[in-house]
Amino acid sequence: MPLTEPEILQWLLEPDEARVEALYREADRVRHEHVGDAVHLRGLIEVSNICIRQCAYCGIRAGNTSLQRYRLSRDEILECARQAVMFGYGTVVMQAGEDYGIERDWMGEIIQTIKRDTPLAVTLSLGERSEEELRVWREAGADRYLLRFETSDPALFSMIHPPVHGRMAESRIEQLLRLRALGYEIGSGVMVGIPGQRYCSLAHDIALFGELDLDMIGVGPYLPHPATPLGAEALRPSAGAGEQVPNSEHLTYRVVALTRLVCPQANIPSTTALSTLNTQEGRTLGLQRGANVVMPNITPAQYRALYEIYPAKSCIRETSSDFHAQLIAGIRALGREIGEGPGGRNKKAASGGRV
Ligand code: 5AD
């Protein structure tokens, strides 16, 4: 029997740290039982920081005019893919702002080339795109698509995601289902501690991960960016006294652990946002509390600082090869292995864990 939404809420509010430790142990056990000890590495390529959206929390929003914008060339992207193969990664994740300069056929050809010339799985994280684009990219060989719904509270969602003028707003849930129907593995997730986010809505988010039977789930703390309305506190959604979820490291671990219990087979990364809050241990603790994936950044060094969705991203200072060597050693020190192959979702009949 998987956790119910009221039980998830209780765990988010649990004051007894010893019980929370037991929750973490159970999440680690369920992770071991359902997805094993392999840690899958996905090379993250930040293809473009150009974005037409005005998301109230995100540093690469269109309204941030102080940011220098870039889009990688085809050759730069293919070079990153070669590097991913060299490091032994099984997947590349191409992520960008909602950049319509990333044209359907240009991206289609890049996907096709990567699939033809390498054994890599290809994950896309390119924002809300048309059905036609998504179909062409799927036919070109893309395997997976990431689109976080960020919060399942419709009022909060619409406050922090102004719609694009002249475009029909389709909910992110609908878009995820459409992606699945196209044959993608689907990934989603939320930020923890968005101003205005209530504990009960976060509990609902986690229950929804299970209902959607997501293949991949990424959660990280909300990190304020001063060049955004939310970060500059020009926009202050209110959750009411005692109801606001903190954007803390500790609460993020609880969300990772509960996510594992609700979705035992999902691929769950220990996120960069988490290691930004705790550069020493964040990644490791995520892996010990339910996560089984790490997404090393392989974007060319000169562009790293420009993909500033939040300040002081932990990967800015790292070179890909230094980071790679440390990461491998760190994973082995935990008694875990490096995942081999594409590391897609392994669907089998299974029941969730209970504490
Ligand atoms: N803090 C934390 N996470 C953020 N993201 C965007 N902006 C921020 C921020 N300020 C996350 C969103 C998005 C993912 C790529 O990065 O959840 O889906």
Q: Give the pLDDT band (50/70/90) at residue 220.
A: very high
CA of 308 to the centre of ligand 1 (A): 10
Of the pLDDT bands very low, low, confident and very high (cuts 50, 70, 90), residue 255 is very high
Residue 316 confidence class, pLDDT cut points 50, 70, 90: confident
**Average pLDDT over all residues of the chain:** 95
Mean pLDDT of 248-258: 98
CB 35 within 8 A of CB 346: yes
Residue 263 identity (one-letter amino acid)? C
Q: Name the DSSP letter for residue 317.
A: S
What pLDDT is recorded for position 165? 80
Residue 309 Cβ contacting ligand 1 at under 6 Å: yes
Alpha helix positions (H), the chain: 5-13, 17-35, 74-87, 104-117, 131-140, 154-160, 172-181, 199-212, 249-262, 272-277, 282-288, 301-304, 320-333
* Ligand 1 near 223 CB (within 6 A): yes
With H, G, I as helix, E, B as strand and everything else as coil, classify residue 74: helix
Separation between Cα atoms, residue 181 and residue 175, nearest integer Å: 10
Residue-level pLDDT at 348: 67
Go through 144-154 and write b for each residue having 16 or more CB atoms within 10 A of its CB, e for each that does not.
bbbbbbbbbbe
Report yes or no: 202 and 162 within 8 Å, Cβ to Cβ. Answer: no
Characterise 173 by phi-psi region: left (phi > 0), alpha (psi -120 to 50), beta (else): alpha
Which pLDDT score, from 0 to 100, does residue 9 have? 98
pLDDT reading at 190 higher than 80: yes
Tokens of 241: 């006294």
What number is the average pLDDT over the span 117-124?
Answer: 98
Whether the CB of 150 sits within 6 Å of ligand 1: yes
> Domain spanning 5-338: which superfamily?
Aldolase class I (3.20.20.70)
Q: Give yes or no for residue 240 having a pLDDT over 90.
A: no
pLDDT at site 349: 53
Tracing tokens 């760190």 back to the chain, one arrives at: 330
**Mean pLDDT across 55-59:** 98
58 CB near ligand 1 (under 6 Å): yes
Give, using CA atoms, the residue closest to atom 3 of ligand 1. Answer: 222
Residue 351 has pLDDT above 70, yes or no: no
- What integer pLDDT is reported at residue 53 of this predicted model? 97
The mean per-residue pLDDT over the stretch 255-267 comes to 98
For residue 199 and ligand 1, the question of a CB distance below 6 A is answered with no
For ligand 1, pick from 44, 310, 314 the residue to mutate: most ligand atoms within 8 Å of CB. Answer: 310
- Residues whose CB falls within 8 Å of the CB of residue 350, separated by 6 or more in sequence, listed in order: 34, 264, 265
Instruction: State residue 218's pLDDT score.
Output: 98
Q: Pick left, alpha or beta for residue 35 (phi over 0 → left; psi -120 to 50 → alpha; otherwise beta).
A: alpha
Most confident stretch, 38-42, 241-245, 347-351? 38-42
Band (354; pLDDT cuts 50, 70, 90): low
Q: What is the pTM of this model?
A: 0.96
Instruction: Say what the pLDDT of residue 346 is.
Output: 84
What is residue 107's three-state secondary structure?
Answer: helix
Nearest CA to ligand 1 atom 14: 148
pLDDT, residue 322, reads: 86
**What pLDDT, on a 0 to 100 scale, did the predictor assign at position 182?**
98
Per-residue pLDDT averaged across 141-155, rounded? 97
Please give the Cα distance from 256 to 31 (Å, whole number): 11
Q: In the prediction, which pLDDT does 85 show?
A: 97
d(CA 116, CA 119): 8
- Within 13 Å of residue 279, how many CA atoms lie on the same side as its CB? 8
Q: Where are the domains of the chain?
A: 5-338
Q: What is the pLDDT of residues 70-89, one digit of tens each?
A: 999 999 999 999 999 999 99
Cα of 33 vs centre of ligand 1, distance in Å, is: 30
Average pLDDT for 14-42 = 98
Whole-angstrom distance, CA of residue 346 vs CA of residue 348: 6
Whether ligand 1 lies within 6 angstroms of the CB of 307 is answered as no
Q: Using pLDDT thresholds of 50, 70 and 90, give the confidence band for residue 99.
A: very high
Ligand 1 pocket residue status of 60, Cβ below 6 Å: no
pLDDT cut 70: percent of the chain above it? 97
Choose the weakest-confidence range: 90-94, 109-113, 114-118, 170-174: 170-174
> 3-state DSSP call for residue 216?
strand
Q: Is the pLDDT of residue 13 over 80?
A: yes
Instruction: Give the 3-state secondary structure of residue 40.
Output: strand
Instruction: Give pLDDT, residue 310.
Output: 96
Helix, strand, coil shares of the chain as percentages rounded to 5? Answer: 40, 15, 45
Residue 1 scores a pLDDT above 90: no
pLDDT digits (tens, 9 = 90+) for 320-337: 888 899 999 999 999 999
Ligand 1 near 282 CB (within 6 A): no
58 Cα to the center of ligand 1, angstroms: 6
